[in-house]
Amino acid sequence: MSVETRSRSRIVLAVVASVGLLSWTQPARAQVDVACEIDAREREHLLSLGYRDFDQTPAEGWRALVNADFACAPEVAGLIDEYASTNGGDLTDYNVQILSWHAGQLYGFAGQTDRARERFKASLDPTEAADAPPWNAYVRASLAFLDDDLAELQRQRALIAGPRAR
């Protein structure tokens, strides 16, 4: 299997996983006995982390705050937004796109589709190369899912799974 085929396969699996997670019905907040408030000291610590520790390290940064049922998803998404705003001068455009994507996922888990849609759109890559893995198709597939647009979802999925044609 070529590197390109493996890369596309990983992206297809990621789309399927994201769509599956976004469609997961969340328990009502009243039924969840979880403290979602992030105290000032912990917030300050999290906002001071470097990008890799805050966003890319399993069980660290914002990921340490997400529990199995995503009950605190809106609070954690807000923290990601705050991190991007606070640390914007130290982040690359790519870092900001990925932070927007992760915040969008969490807003989606929480059923806040307007905010999810906003963050997903902000994660589109305006400089995506024709031969790059199809990130923008992945984002557009997720937007189509939020919009309940099966035809667009299938069109974007075909772009992800098939050869790149522009």
Task: Tell me the DSSP string of 115-150.
Answer: HHHHHHHHT--TT--TTS--HHHHHHHHHHHHTT-H
Dihedral sign of CA atoms 93, 94, 98, 104 in order: positive
Each domain of the chain, given as residue ranges in start order, spans 3-161
So what's the pLDDT on residue 68?
Answer: 76
d(CA 77, CA 28): 18
Helix (H) or strand (E) holding 106: helix 93-109
Q: Which residues of the chain have pLDDT under 50?
A: 1-3, 5-10, 12-13, 16-17, 19-33, 165-166
Quick one: tokens of 82? 């705050």
Model pTM score? 0.78
Backbone φ and ψ of 88, nearest 5°:
-50, -40
Query: Mind listing the pLDDT tens digit for each residue in 79-126?
Result: 999 999 999 999 999 999 999 999 999 999 999 999 999 999 999 999
So what's the pLDDT on residue 25?
Answer: 37
Q: Which of 39, 80, 34, 35 is nearest to 61 (CA)?
A: 80
Angle in degrees, 0-180, between the axes of helices 40-48 and 73-86, rounded to the nearest 10: 50
First to last CA, the chain: 24
